[in-house]
Structure 1
Amino acid sequence: MLLPDSLASKKDQLRIQLPATLQAKLWIQPTESTLLEVIKHLRTLRYLLFYYLPFSVSEHLLETEQPLWQWNSGTLMFTDLAGFTALTQTCSQQGAVGSRYLAKLINTYFSRTIEIISASEGDLLEFTGDATLVKFDGATPEQATAKAVRAGLRLQRMMTEFNQLETFGESQSLGMRIGIHSGQFLTADVGTPMRMMRILLGQTVRCAKNTESFGKVGRVCISEETAKWVQDSFRLTPHQEGYFLIEDDMTSESLGRFEITPQRRRFPRSMLFNNSSEEMMREINHLLKQTAPLSKYIAPPVLKLLVENARDRAIPPTLSQTAVLFINLIGIPERIDSVKATTEQEQLIHALSYLFAQINALIEAKEGFLQNWTYHRYSDILAYFGVPNSRTDDAIRATTVATQIRQLISQFPEVEVGQQKIPVSCQIGLAWGTVFAGEIGQPYHRRDYNALGAPVNRAAYVMSQAPKNQIWITNSMVERIELEQNLLNLDDLPFHYQLVQKLRLKGSKNLTPIFEIISK
């Protein structure tokens, strides 16, 4: 039997969205049972993709495939987990047993976190390592901010479940730092039809991240500008200059477990009216039309894992040795607020989209994995070499890509917007070590593939300390590069490195040597 023309024209999409065995079966035996199997798989994949993306993204894409570009108002909440680095180091020494323990613990943590965020009407925009970014909407700033504050207090109460953990003979604890800030921010889709990313830009995003950074573990911190919206509803205590801490003196009844009208996802449904070939092919085409735009926002290695593991609805976790790459883009993101004309803002977004697409292409060409756009320093890109697929030369490939990205950005022409000429530069940091990699979140709700551990935090910190257009790497990266070079018997590398200084990295008692990468 031959594949019908209506499906043969979709062969490129089917190749991406069907498991290898089902794809082969469809081409060789497109029988009724095979078509029904394809429909079942695509419905499961649609479900998984829908919940892998933020509510605002998946809802938008099921209504239109057009990229989004608009200013929004709302309240942003950043959360960060304290104590996870030490926990990962302990579990990594226990091999598979430690990996399973960590997977269970972290999924319990994120499952409870997502449950509270969802019940509080929050939209979880991003997982980055053990941190999250959540958006709250409301009819007024007071309403949106109050939702965020109540969510923050609920989360901190939930954290009492994790403050006394017995881990392989060691007593450890996890804590959470929360920061809240309200205002306007730009929401934009950047990239190409092959890989898109939803990002947030503007001073509000920077202020929200700073509020979390200046916060306190176990407390909810709110910026002074935002505190005015809730000062009559919650008791505030002055913290550092420009920030307040929310006092949790509310009863369980007054705080409650959820908002009055919790937000619900409208998950799309479809029906098969009969089992005729025409009806089944119509349904397959309908499902492909829905899964294709969602797939663009998932990194190819993760999409492949989702497709191949759709039947199990879970991606197995691992503890993996990984090179973590952080890139901070400087210049364009900071100018979004100061440029008022719509055409000029579009110019900046176009330039940013071009850079993102080129950076992603360089990473994918070396078999790396661009995880997401993050906000450690404001507008950062996070990538991994080693998860979900590892290679013998992960550290060398990651460092080589870093030099290519630096060359791309350093040679990028100044962006002319009106009378302004905006130079573009970057900071790049690399670290090597063990990460926990796998799905985090709720089994049948919001989740994502993520990597957590000390190397993520260390790469971000090293990046933040690097001068403009420099690449800094940790001593562990140097040791790994030298090991790979000897293993592969490489006489030469496209770069060399030199010691620049020593830094105290998170989770390390001693100062760590830091090296600068110099292209040859």
Structure 2
Amino acid sequence: MDLLANHDYDINNRFVEYDQVVPNFVSKNVREYCDRLAKAKAKEIQLTGGGKPPAAHPELSTASVAANAVNMEPTATEAFAAVVMVDVSGYSTLTSTLSDQGAIGAEILSKTMKGYLDKIIQTILLHGGDIVKFAGDAVIFYWKVKPSPKMSPADEEIERGEVVLKACHCCMDLLNNLGTYHIDVPQSSTDTLRIHLGIGAGKVFDIYVGGNPGRWEHFIAGDAVSQLSHVLDLAKAGELAMSHQALKFFSGVVNIDTVNIGDYDKRCIILHGLENAKRKISAPSPKEDEDLALWEIAPVEANVELYKKFINQSALYKLQADINQCRLFRAESGLHGLLSLHELRQVTTVFIKLGSLSRWETKEQLVEAQEAMNIVQAALNRYEGSLRQFHVDDKGATILCFFGLPPLAHENDAEYGIKAAMEICEEFKIIFSDFSIGMTTGIVSTGGVGNAIRTEYAVMGDSINMAARLMCHPEAHLSILVDQRSFNLCERILHFDSLGEVKVKGKTRPIAIFRPKELRIDPGSHRVSVHRNPADIIGRLLEKELVARTLSYSQSDSEAKAPLVIMMAEGGQGLSSMVDYTKQ
């Protein structure tokens, strides 16, 4: 069998094609949005005679023309939704512990979290939830009420209660089956992971922002999302917290006296169980569009081009590379096999928080979000970084960027990252009165999570958590904070202010933080005099002895085969100095 030929095998078990998997990387909402745009454009092309598709496949051919012709615009669509965020407790501690193990620790973290997240994702999809974002150890998902002019106000209230009830059933299923997840991690005291959840209900906006050079983002914001910032922190590990707004709609379809409720105060309600819950009205009949199979089927081929605009470039690159690798080595490249391939890299993380966009109340805030997106994309395009995501969660509005993920990887990614962060910072100061930026550098692991319906390449590592901690530190307000490794890698080109050491969540010891000031006039002159004399290198006794012995051996026997010495080290560990020592 020719493994490089095109095949139409089962996506879960055998060989899969690139375009078969791409749709799984976007939410159901994004797929429907792109499909509507492509269909409208195809109709326009047919009416104007701009495309003359062959009779055999008229719809596909017209859609192919339409997909390339669609011009997306920033939009904010209002609806009612029940929004849930599930967060893994114990993740920060586990991440910090594994960071001491270096690169292998990042890989263990990624594979450990994959097993847990796979099961969480499967449960959410079985209950009909639409996953909007994967945010590290958290997942944001929702159920929407689709507005209809035929729906009476009374029916609409019932429909709102029904989506909150669906959210509650899903959350209780998650807690009952995955509330405690046992793990076996070498050299770690953490042997279990737990989840806690929050539910908000009310107005949401489906936000679409993006543009040049072609990357788009979808996220949700509004009152229902804002409620999560209050209730999620009140839910302990193994608990579900519900906002009072969500309870109001929930009580419209369920008799509250039959529900197992724990704590009840003015901030939230802790829901313990629905096993004895009795409905006030009969359950509605299933709706046709709730059948998951309806959006598991392959979409019109050309619409995949629109989906790609919502997927970061590094994920698309890794997907294609993993498919090629599986075929090259004659391994099964079914979706399960693809998502099991992990990659380790040193990456610079730039985490941005936009305080002014933390609460969405009107569509007018779309302008601010689009301006932020324009500034970030321009900087990333100039310094070859990757936009991971723009989203709103319990921490507010955040933008996550990486420098060093393929295909945009460089020897000096930290320098690229700090220059981009400084450019973004200066532009933001003109527009926004409240923002902060955290930047770190470290080893991360990239690997897939999910299943045949919803998939994501998760990027995990302690340095990403630390970037979020720095971003939220008060000293980061209207500026940038960087960690020790980023400082070491960028000190050659930048002046920094040392802000001492601070305590952060997940670390037993304080960490050093720095604030970048301005570029050095002559970066090449910085610290040259320190190592002008090779003997000034401190330590490295074994390395010096090896170099001396190798050179001595080569000089004593000119006809002998020259021995080979390979020097390897992570960035900032003195590799360049050691090379200079060897040359001299």
TM-score bracket, shorter-length normalisation: 0.7 to 0.9
The match for 1:192 is: 211
Letter in 2 for 1:158: N
Letter in 1 for 2:120: T
Question: What does 1:401-420 align with in structure 2 at a 5 Å threshold?
Answer: 401-412=420-431
The match for 1:203 is: 223
Q: Percent identity?
A: 19
Letter in 2 for 1:433: G
Instruction: Report which stretch shifted further, 78-87 or 114-123.
Output: 78-87
Closer, same or farther: CA 204–234 of 1 in aligned 2, 3 Å: same
1:331 aligns with 2:356: yes
The match for 1:81 is: 88
Question: What does 1:328-407 align with in structure 2 at a 5 Å threshold?
Answer: 328-331=353-356, 334=359, 336-337=360-361, 339=362, 345-346=363-364, 348-374=365-391, 375-388=393-406, 390-407=409-426
Letter in 2 for 1:266: W
The match for 1:283 is: none
CA RMSD after TM alignment: 3.4
1:70 match: secondary structure: strand
Closer, same or farther: CA 516–481 of 1 in aligned 2, 3 Å: closer
Question: What does 1:58-137 align with in structure 2 at a 5 Å threshold?
Answer: 58-65=31-38, 66-67=72-73, 68-91=75-98, 101-137=108-144
The match for 1:479 is: 485
Letter in 1 for 2:379: L
Letter in 2 for 1:428: I
1:427 aligns with 2:433: no
1:318 aligns with 2:343: yes
Instruction: Report which stretch shifted further, 77-86 or 177-186.
Output: 77-86
Find the partner of 1:230 among 223, 241, 250.
Answer: 250
Closer, same or farther: CA 498–308 of 1 in aligned 2, 3 Å: same
User: Deviation at 1:479?
Assistant: 3.3
The match for 1:246 is: 271
TM-score (norm 2): 0.67
Cα distance in 1 for partners of 2:234, 2:180 equals: 24
Aligned partners of 1:238 and 1:245 also within 8 Å: yes
Find the partner of 1:50 among 16, 20, 23.
Answer: 23
User: Deviation at 1:392?
Assistant: 2.9
1:301 aligns with 2:280: no
Cα distance in 1 for partners of 2:187, 2:314 equals: 36
The match for 2:445 is: 436
Cα distance in 2 for partners of 1:292, 1:127 equals: 22
1:292 match: secondary structure: helix
TM-score (norm 1): 0.75
User: Deviation at 1:411?
Assistant: 2.4
1:229 match: secondary structure: helix
1:121 match: secondary structure: coil
Closer, same or farther: CA 378–89 of 1 in aligned 2, 3 Å: closer
Closer, same or farther: CA 189–113 of 1 in aligned 2, 3 Å: same
2:459 match: secondary structure: strand
Instruction: Report which stretch shifted further, 73-82 or 194-203.
Output: 194-203
Find the partner of 1:216 among 236, 239, 253.
Answer: 236
User: Deviation at 1:246?
Assistant: 0.7
Cα distance in 2 for partners of 1:100, 1:453 equals: 9
Cα distance in 2 for partners of 1:432, 1:410 equals: 24
User: Deviation at 1:98?
Assistant: 5.4
Letter in 2 for 1:431: T
Q: Which has the larger radius of gyration?
A: 2
User: Deviation at 1:38?
Assistant: 10
Find the partner of 2:473 among 465, 470, 474.
Answer: 465
User: Deviation at 1:107?
Assistant: 2.2
Q: Deviations over 1:130-179 (max 9, x none)?
A: 111010235622111111111111111222551x3232254421111211
Cα distance in 1 for partners of 2:437, 2:346 equals: 20
User: Deviation at 1:204?
Assistant: 2.5
Instruction: Report which stretch shifted further, 455-464 or 93-102.
Output: 93-102
Number of residues paired by the alignment?
439
Aligned partners of 2:99 and 2:462 also within 8 Å: no
2:353 match: secondary structure: strand
User: Deviation at 1:114?
Assistant: 1.1
Q: 5+ residue gaps in structure 1?
A: 1-32, 271-285, 340-344, 413-422
Aligned partners of 1:182 and 1:208 also within 8 Å: no
Letter in 2 for 1:449: Y
1:446 aligns with 2:454: yes
Letter in 2 for 1:371: R
Aligned partners of 1:425 and 1:468 also within 8 Å: no
Q: Deviations over 1:105-127 (max 9, x none)?
A: 32221221111101111111100
Cα distance in 1 for partners of 2:272, 2:316 equals: 43
Letter in 2 for 1:235: N
